[in-house]
Amino acid sequence: MFIYGLIVLWNKPWLWDSVWCFLEFPHHFVSTEEWWYYNIESAFYLSLLFSQFVDVQRKDFWVMFVHHVVTLCLLSFSWACNLIRIGTLVLVIHDFADIPLEGAKMMAYVKKQQVADVVFNVFALCWIISRIGLLPYRIIYYSSYVAVGLVPMFSAYYIFNSLLIALQILHIIWTYFIIRVAIQAWNNNGIKDIRSDDEEEEEDFVEKVDDDEELMFEDATKLKNNGNTHLRSSQLLNNDYKTKIHSNGLKHE
C-alpha cells in the first residue's frame, strides 16, 4: 500500500508541502485514485480490528485495539469533513515502516535470524523517521498550529486533531517496545517478540504442571503396585501357615 500511496500522491502538492492540506479548504476535489486509496486502507484497518479477536492475543492487545479504532475514526472524520489530503499523508507515513516490519517477520519465520536482525534494524530506523519524526512535523504541527490561521475551526476538527495526538501517543508507546526488542536482540543475539513473554511463560507453566501430574501418577501407580505385592505376599504366608497347622494336626491323629 505504501507504493500505491506514493503513486497516487506523487504529483500532489501536499505530498511535498503540508500547507496544501488546508489551502482552499473545504473545496478539495477527490480524485478516483484517492477514493480507492482511502477505501482500501479503511477496509484493511477494519479487517485488522475484527481479526485481532481471533488472532493470538499479546501484551499490546488493547494498545493495538485502540490504535485500530483511532485510525478508523480518523479515516471517517477526515472523509466526512473533506480532510482527505491530510488523511492520505497520514496513511502513506504509516505504511512506510510496514514493509521492513513484514520482511523481518518473514525472515524470523524461516529461521534466517541474521537477516531478520538486519531487516528489523531497518524497520526500527524507518519507524523512528516516519512516526516519531515525520508524523509530528508534517502532520500534527500543521494541523495544530498552521491550520488555525487557514481553516475555520469547527467541533469535528477539534475531535480530528485530538485523535491525531492520541495516535502519536500510541506511536511513542510502540517505540518503547521496539527499543526493548532492539536491546534484547543486541544482548541475546537475535530479535524476539517481547509481547509473547506471557504466552511462553504460560506454556512453560502448563508443561511443568503436566510433568508434575505424570510424576504423581507414576508414584501413585508404584505405590498401588507395592501395596498389591505386599497383600499378595501376606496372603501366601497365611496360606503356608494354615497348611502347616493342618499337616501337624493330621500327624497327631
Q: Where are the domains of the chain?
A: 2-192, 194-253
Helix (H, G, I), strand (E, B) or coil at 230: helix
Q: Which three cell numbers stand for residue 37?
A: 486509496
Q: What is the pLDDT of residues 110-137, one digit of tens each?
A: 988 888 888 998 999 999 999 999 999 9
The pLDDT of residue 171: 92
Q: How many Cα atoms sit within 13 Å of 95 on the Cβ side? A: 19
* Upstream peptide bond of 26 is cis (omega within 30 degrees of 0): yes
Cβ burial, residue 128 (10 Å; 0-12/13-18/19+): middle
Distance, in Å, from the CA atom of 140 to the CA atom of 86, rounded to the nearest integer, reads 10
Average pLDDT value over all residues in the chain = 79
Q: pLDDT confidence of 186, banded at 50, 70, 90? A: confident
CA angle 59, 63, 64 (to 5 degrees): 90
pLDDT > 50? residue 151:
yes
Q: Give me the sign of the Cα torsion angle 130, 132, 135, 138.
A: negative
